[in-house]
Structure 1
Amino acid sequence: MWRYSRLNHLVSLLLVLLVATGSHGRQALVTANGSVLELPRDQSPITFETTRLRIHAAAGGSHELLVEVAGSTIQHQRGLMYRTAMPENSGMLFIFSHDHTSGFWMYRTHLPLSIAYIASDRCIADIRDMFPCSEGPVSLCQREAVAYRPAQPYRYALEVVQGYFSHRGIQVGDCLEWD
């Protein structure tokens, strides 16, 4: 089992590094969790480790996702920028060293997303739907886009395809586990 898991992880990392020429001067990549990333030629790919994450919903059942883990400042800044497709059972888990109250915004993010802000006890403190802000300079996006701020402090954040939480009855108070 360990060998298969390790081999699967290595193959996934190789997929991230496989660069194909895309249209409009972009590089088309497939990430470790199956997302499609179309980077402008002036941007370099950033690799993320993946982990399995399970959400235990009080409304019934548990839900497993394969998520990319953003733990560094550079990974936090890139997040899900430039993604043009993402499998429904995947996402990105942001891990911070201390609690935050600042919001997320969607600069150069092409997909509508839902975000769960997760407290240090790994239970969901807030959920928000977020909408793309994919074109224009940073200042325009920051001015016109909503900063998606949580109602409570959080230590982690999980971004998934918009509607993932609501379609599964996942709500504030539900807890998560991951390695």
Structure 2
Amino acid sequence: MTKGRPNITRAALAALLFLSSPVLSRAIMAPAYGDVLFNRASLTIETANGPVLLDVEIADTDPKREQGLMFRRSLSENQGMIFLFGREREITMWMKNTFIPLDMVFIGDDWRVVSIAQNAEPFSTDVISSRRPASRVLEIGAGQAKKLGLKVGDRVSLKK
């Protein structure tokens, strides 16, 4: 029975050294997806059918924009996420690690819809482009843009 103890002691010591490694401890302590907290706001889109009110999460920092809706399993019809970028430019997005099919509504500096990408495919690494300069992207569930009657030129407002 005593023969097994040195092996257990060596294994425990090896595990302790392994876990105290600076590289590993950073990996263990790194925030997991979902640790980024998003502020919420009300977003209104003025459509030909009347105003549409959505409850949105705001992605206004690099970590928030990088995480976005990745790993989420559901999104209610009245919810979305708005990505706020600093300046107007062609914006490109993708669906890597995103479980939910989405519509992406690209919005310019003047808070008007400049383009809409419908039914983005989950997990795709294909680039989805605004095709025109934009400074914001609203992500909503796939099919919602059509259902809500969203069109290029619709005015958007955000109430934080």
Output the TM-score relative to the length of structure 2. 0.76
Partners of 2:38 and 2:75 lie apart in 1 by 15
How far did 1:42 drift? 4.7
Structure 1: 5+ residue stretches without partners: 1-40, 134-140
How far did 1:44 drift? 5.1
How far did 1:43 drift? 3.7
Matched, 1:172 2:152: yes
- Deviating 4+ runs (over 4 angstroms): none
Amino acid at match of 2:95: M
Partners of 1:155 and 1:109 lie apart in 2 by 22
Could you report, residue by residue, the CA deviation over 1:72-117 in whole angstroms, capped at 9, with x for unpaired residues? Answer: 0000000000010111100000011111213100110000000000
Higher relative contact order (CA 8 A, sep 6+): 2
- The alignment covers a number of residue pairs equal to 128
RMSD: 1.4
SS at match of 1:103: strand
In the other structure, the counterpart of 1:94 is 83
Amino acid at match of 2:92: G
Matched, 1:108 2:88: no
Partners of 2:108 and 2:91 lie apart in 1 by 13
SS at match of 2:128: coil
How far did 1:154 drift? 0.3
How far did 1:157 drift? 0.6
Partners of 1:43 and 1:177 lie apart in 2 by 29
Q: How does 1:1-179 map to 2 (within 5 A)?
A: 42-43=32-33, 45-57=35-47, 59-129=48-118, 130-133=120-123, 145-179=125-159
Partners of 1:170 and 1:44 lie apart in 2 by 29
SS at match of 1:153: strand
Amino acid at match of 1:47: L
Partners of 2:141 and 2:34 lie apart in 1 by 24
Q: Would the alpha carbon gap of residues 95 and 43 (structure 1) be closer, same or farther in structure 2, given more than 3 Å must change? A: closer
Q: Would the alpha carbon gap of residues 168 and 42 (structure 1) be closer, same or farther in structure 2, given more than 3 Å must change? A: closer
Amino acid at match of 2:112: C
Output the TM-score relative to the length of structure 1. 0.68
Partners of 1:44 and 1:164 lie apart in 2 by 24
How far did 1:151 drift? 1.8
SS at match of 1:75: helix
Structure 2: 5+ residue stretches without partners: 1-30
How far did 1:47 drift? 0.3
Preserved CA contact (<8 Å) 2:33 2:67: no
